[in-house]
């Protein structure tokens, strides 16, 4: 068991990127932290010599590993206060050239694995009438861009799931925040991005061009993953936790523009929309 005042964090995908930087911040604060990765050896250094850190093997597509990891965390610390669903990766292809196996594998990690992790921690949070779930989505949770249709679809799925979860969890003291970053310097493009190159000339200026630009952008993104971690921690400490936490100027500007455009288009067709009901 642990100090009842210190929040217990459980973070998936801690080998690199957002997960690792966030874990380092919670560990530095002395908070009990469960760090996980596909291969415990990839996060063992985070736990070395620290009793308040538990390093575990966790592939979020493996239901037994999920169950075992949650049980181990609850046995050691008594509860999980914050779940960070960070594990996942990207896949780029034109819609037409997307490969079925690659699409399904990405959905298993980004969507179904996240769903399963959430289900596993909910009984404990519900019993304590307390908890906060951070789902790392993306600015792609609000929009699809050339070459990222399937990735955006996976993030849109998490956003819709989170809407329902927030409404079901609110009366039980469980809060939900979707974290929606833009480009951050996490080596995501070089490490966590798969691609099916486009060979159809008709997509040269759309999907193919964006895939090439994404690959060449790694290491030059404006977003700072450490500052992103601090923002996530701030969200969990706020009296009114944000339902959406958009991170980085690129994401903020793109998301707000997209939402304004979407609202304007919906309102433009208001008369037609309302005319679809039976007459009063």
Please list the alpha-helical segments (H only) found in the chain.
17-28, 44-47, 63-77, 100-107, 114-128, 149-169, 188-191, 207-217, 225-237, 249-268, 270-274
State the Cα torsion 34-9-114-20 to the nearest 10°. -60
Helix axes 225-237, 17-28, angle to 10 degrees: 60
Nearest to 225 by CA among 20, 7, 6, 11: 20
Strand, coil or helix: 74? helix
Q: Which residues contact 108 (CB under 8 A, 6 or more apart)?
A: 61
Query: Residue 224's Cα: distance from chain center in Å?
Result: 16
151 in catalytic set: yes
Catalytic residue selected from 77, 91, 150, 151: 151
Active site residues: 151
């Amino acid at each position: 068991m642990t100090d009842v005042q210190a929040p217990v964090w459980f973070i998936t995908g801690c080998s690199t990127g957002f997960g690792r930087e966030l874990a380092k911040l919670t560990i530095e604060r002395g908070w009990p932290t469960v760090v996980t990765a596909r291969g415990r050896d990839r996060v063992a250094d985070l736990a070395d010599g620290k009793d308040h850190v538990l390093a575990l093997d966790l592939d979020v597509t493996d239901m037994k590993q999920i169950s075992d990891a949650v049980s181990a965390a609850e046995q050691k610390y008594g509860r999980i206060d914050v779940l960070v669903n960070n594990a996942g990766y990207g896949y780029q292809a034109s819609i037409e050239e997307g490969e079925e196996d690659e699409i399904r594998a990405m959905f298993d990690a980004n969507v179904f694995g996240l769903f399963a992790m959430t289900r596993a921690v909910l009984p404990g949070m519900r019993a304590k009438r307390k908890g906060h779930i951070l789902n790392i989505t993306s600015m792609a949770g609000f929009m699809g861009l050339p070459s990222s249709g399937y990735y955006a679809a996976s993030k849109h799925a998490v956003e819709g799931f989170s809407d329902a979860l927030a409404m079901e969890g609110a009366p039980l003291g469980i809060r939900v925040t979707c974290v929606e970053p833009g480009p951050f310097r996490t080596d995501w493009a070089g490490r966590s991005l798969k691609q099916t190159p486009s060979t159809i000339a008709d997509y040269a200026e759309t999907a193919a061009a964006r895939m090439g630009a994404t690959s060449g952008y790694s290491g030059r993104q404006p977003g700072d993953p450490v500052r992103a971690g601090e923002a996530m921690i701030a969200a969990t400490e706020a009296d009114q936790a944000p339902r959406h936490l958009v991170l980085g100027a690129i994401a903020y500007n793109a998301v707000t523009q997209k939402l304004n455009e979407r609202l304007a288009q919906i309102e433009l067709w208001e008369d037609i929309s309302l005319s679809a009901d039976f007459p009063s």
